[in-house]
Amino acid sequence: MASFEVIGGKQLKGDIFPQGAKNEALQILCAVLLTPEPVTISNLPDIVDVNKLIELLQNLGVKVDRSAPDTYTFQADDINLEYLETESFVKLGRAIRGSVMILGPMLARFGQCKLPKPGGDKIGRRRMDTHFIGLEKLGATFTYDTHDSFFHIETNGLKGVYMLLDEASVTGTANIVMAAALAEGTTTIYNAACEPYLQQLCRMLNRMGAKISGVGSNLLVIEGVEKLGGTEHRLLPDMIEIGSFIGMAGMTGSEITIKDCQIPELGLIPDTFRRLGIQMEYRGDDIYIPAQDHYEIDTYIDGSILNVSDHTWPGFTPDLLSIALVVATQAKGTALIHQKMFESRLFFVDKLIEMGAQIILCDPHRATIIGQNKQVPLKGIRMSSPDIRAGVALLIAALSAEGHSVIDNVEQIDRGYQNIDGRLNALGAEIRRL
């Protein structure tokens, strides 16, 4: 198990480039299974979850050629369905939750797939009903074997249909869209997810020959086609990294420029951090954050306490609530952080309280933060990263704290952030990997 040793209290300075979007990468990589022709993907982040999914595809028979550090060409013209029966598939399929998105492409193109119950972050129950109900409506049948925790799914032919999703699941929508692209007839998906990552997937599929309309809305119409071809695709910068760097700059009083942000695709992220008091300005497609000695949480018009909550797009992403919570601990003012989607994602706050933060954990979904206006700095402790996003929130807390911190289980952070210690050290941080 690897750890980060962090010497806190240092101001950072300089430019930082966000990696390619992890959540988009997992969808786009699964989409290469929809065609036997080459698909080239650039701006892929070199992180554990992405690399494991590439390994899974390669073991499945996809030809993989790496032409640059962030650019790969994939060709799924000789898929080995027998790989689905191997222990290697079980291990990789369970290691990453994104593996669930091979179901739609495999079902559409080969009429069958199986998948071990995926793993991923321990952030609470993350049901898969939307995936299976949507694929069932297209004409698939599935069974779940409770003995080996395997999902088995097959079809004699997918047919387009109207469906109203019970939740706007991003990965569920992606799975259904990929399957519907090769289904017979027209599929209409209402209450579809419309995150930028899903929009990127739809645009890529359209370049491959799919006929998807309504991209960017929650009503998607997919006219099925007989086959899809190859294409080239470039990932967006990772909005979660961008939000993390904004929060880090505010917490550490640092002057940082985040480069090439694709600002129109960030939704409410910049405005939410502005309401927490962090100043920033747009310089072209860059976000400049000046050094701030203190920052103050906004209130509502009637003076009541600010409530920062997550929601489906274009609402504030749940992946950044842990960062918003940490930022609020050193602000002037009070905020309520409301994590609606996952019931275990706030359980890292005990470590922040141990560091000196003033937090009341109201229940598994809500925490009230009384900001200390940087008058009582956090103090360094030893802690463990419970999941990707909480791990980075704890890293930001350690960077702002007085003294020495150790963060264990940083393999969790590596799953979502590429060389985070090296990139932050280049700005003046003092992080040592143990």
Q: Which residues are catalytically annotated?
A: 121
Measured from the Cβ of residue 219, the count of other Cβ atoms closer than 10 Å reads 12
Nearest-angstrom CA–CA distance, 53 and 29: 8
The label of the residue with tokens 């990965």 reads 171
Nearest-angstrom CA–CA distance, 138 and 134: 7
- Among residues 378, 374, 389, 336, the alpha carbon closest in space to that of 354 is found at 378
Nearest-angstrom CA–CA distance, 208 and 78: 19
Measured at the alpha carbon of residue 382, what is the angle toward residues 381 and 384, in degrees to the nearest 5?
130
Contact 193/168 with Cβ under 8 angstroms?
yes
Query: Is the CA virtual torsion 126, 130, 133, 134 positive or negative?
Result: negative
Nearest-angstrom CA–CA distance, 101 and 330: 39
Name the 3-class secondary structure at 371: coil
Name the 3-class secondary structure at 112: strand
> How distant, in Å, are the alpha carbons of 40, 41, 131, 246, 274 from that of 261?
22, 19, 31, 12, 16
| Beta strands in 56-202, from DSSP E residues, in sequence order | 63-68, 71-75, 112-116, 140-145, 150-155, 162-164, 186-190
